[in-house]
Amino acid sequence: MALTGIQIFKLLPKTNCGECGTPTCLAFAMNLAAGKTELDLCPYVSDEAREQLAEASAPPIRSVAIGAGETEVKPGGETVMFRHEKTFYNPCGIACLVTPDQSDVDAQIAWFNAMKYERVGLMLRPEMFCVKDTGDAAAFEALVDKIVAECDASITLMSDNVETLKKVADKIKQYKPLLYAATEANADDLGAYALESGLPLALKAENIEGVQALTEKLTGMGLKDLVIDTGSRELKAAFEDSIALRRAALVQQNKALGFPTIVFPCEMTQNYLEEALMASTFVAKYGGIIVLSAFRAETVFPLLLQRLNIYTDPQRPMTQEEGIYEINNPGPDSPVAVTTNFSLTYFIVAGEVEASRVPTWLLIKDSEGLSVLTAWAAGKFAGDDVGMFIKKCGIEEKINHKSVIIPGYAAAISGEMEEELPGWNVQIGPREAAHLPKYLKDWSA
Ligand code: SF4
């Protein structure tokens, strides 16, 4: 049962040292009760209090780590129904189903290795292969060996044969594969193995009641890292299950349903474009691992982008650090351009400057993560402010001219900037970043 802020406060050291990032223990306790902070941030909680608090402060949906290294996924750990209430923390994993009798396994592994997209300074990529045993244990084992040898994907091992699962899982235990799946029939056997091996375990039932009965049985055995498959293979039913599970865990505080899910759009349709649309439904609501029939650039890339958007904090825009960025090795005669610190603005502008091959100093002014027009309208990219920043950022020591290019959308700040920067020539650049290369090539101070 959740503790109140005051109950939590009684268990804290009450020294108000501030090391947790909040000024007082009381404020930290209130944040903890509201699920806004983590107990681990306080280094001084006694072991006894930690034990009591860990249970009370654990997120209502358990976060389950699957895989190792760069492709580890950790679905779950969410605390709100809707992203605008706070944020979603742990991006869903994007997976591809492969079987030993499939002819394009090599191509799928090659696609997996190739699919790495850099976007706003982050690397986007799918994470997982779900390897399904189709009855030939040796072929299943060989396929798992091949994937482990040829790529760094996380793995879900899928087999109806518990002995086969155990044998293959033992071989690759260090990669922390997900075992799929415990059912009513094999829960004792597979649950005991998952407990002994410490591997995460997926469970499959026919409906949510069945899921609850299974999770209660497995948690009763001591298992904690569970992943739920409700068994639905039709979009509407799977979508309803997904929402019902999230609501049960967060609103009704039903611990038995507080686990991430695995969903199979690949088994809901034969049409890969429809499959991608279904997958996008579960990226938004609330798939933990989303399994596709194949890695295709035209479906995986949009899903990765959607995932990036869904799993960024809506209250904290992605920002670039304020400062001077050197693009294409600029020198004293190179142009100077200034823009805002919204990540997307920075990466688009920097990309165009780089593509122009014109050595350029790019100045990034803190605008609280707003894009040019929004920042200007909100007074976060005002002429006197930008002028002051240019004076203080140190660019004057690096150049032998006094010209600065401002974004075309912020043309209105040029007068104020010139007042703040006497002797400077404030040049109005293009409105669209796409026109920057030509502008820079024609530029003169
Ligand atoms: Fe209190 Fe711990 Fe935060 Fe210090 S770190 S203020 S002791 S909660």
pLDDT tens digits, 137-157: 999 999 999 999 999 999 999
The residue with greater pLDDT, 317 or 92, is 92
Given the CA of residue 25, which atom of ligand 1 is nearest to it?
1
54: pLDDT strictly greater than 80: no
- Rounded to two decimals, the pTM is 0.80
Share of the chain above pLDDT 90, in %: 85
**d(C-alpha 56, C-alpha 280), whole Å:** 33
Closest C-alpha to ligand 1, atom 1:
25
Nearest Cα neighbor of 370 from 314, 319, 322 is 319
Which of the four pLDDT bands, split at 50, 70 and 90, describes residue 383? very high
Average pLDDT over residues 1-18: 86
Place of tokens 């920057």: 436
Pocket lining: 42 vs ligand 1, CB cutoff 6 Å: yes
Ligand 1 pocket check: which of 8, 26, 42, 46 to mutate, most ligand atoms within 8 Å of Cβ? 42
Average pLDDT over residues 294-322: 92
Nearest Cα neighbor of 213 from 182, 190, 246 is 182
370: pLDDT strictly greater than 80: yes
- Determine contact, residues 225/64, Cβ cutoff 8 Å: yes
Nearest Cα neighbor of 409 from 338, 354, 358, 351 is 338
Pocket lining: 128 vs ligand 1, CB cutoff 6 Å: no
Pocket lining: 55 vs ligand 1, CB cutoff 6 Å: no
58: pLDDT strictly greater than 80: no
Give the pLDDT of residue 1: 52
Ligand 1 pocket check: which of 9, 12, 30 to mutate, most ligand atoms within 8 Å of Cβ? 12
β-strands 360-365, 323-327 pairing: antiparallel
Q: How many CB atoms lie within 10 A of CB 114?
A: 10
> What spacing in Å lies between the alpha carbon of 81 and ligand 1's midpoint?
29
- Model confidence over 79-123: pLDDT tens digits? 899 988 888 999 999 999 999 999 999 999 999 999 999 887 789
**d(C-alpha 144, C-alpha 151), whole Å:** 11
Closest C-alpha to ligand 1, atom 4:
17
Nearest Cα neighbor of 339 from 369, 313, 314 is 369
Distances (CA, A) of 295 to 34, 108, 212: 39, 6, 32
Q: Is residue 395 classed as helix, strand or coil in its secondary structure?
A: helix
Nearest Cα neighbor of 169 from 188, 153, 187, 145 is 145
Q: How many CB atoms lie within 10 A of CB 119?
A: 14
Which of the four pLDDT bands, split at 50, 70 and 90, describes residue 445? confident
Residue 174 forms beta bridges with which residues? none
Give the pLDDT of residue 2: 64
418: pLDDT strictly greater than 60: yes
Place of tokens 């904090």: 313
Pocket lining: 20 vs ligand 1, CB cutoff 6 Å: yes
Nearest Cα neighbor of 108 from 144, 70, 147, 66 is 147
Q: Which residues contact 250 (CB under 8 A, 6 or more apart)?
A: 60, 61, 78, 79, 80, 81
- Peptide bond between residue 181 and the one before it cis (omega within 30 degrees of 0): yes
**Which of 29-43, 142-156, 173-187, 333-347 is predicted with the least confidence, judged by mean pLDDT?**
29-43
Helix ranges (DSSP H) in 115-264 = 137-150, 162-171, 187-197, 208-220, 235-250
Q: Is residue 340 classed as helix, strand or coil in its secondary structure?
A: strand
> What spacing in Å lies between the alpha carbon of 18 and ligand 1's midpoint?
5
Q: Which long-range contacts (CB under 8 A, 24 or more apart) does 25-29 make?
A: 29/5
- Model confidence over 419-439: pLDDT tens digits? 999 999 999 999 999 999 999
Give the pLDDT of residue 194: 98
Quick one: DSSP state of residue 288?
S
Structure tokens at 62: 């358990």
Q: Is residue 129 classed as helix, strand or coil in its secondary structure?
A: strand
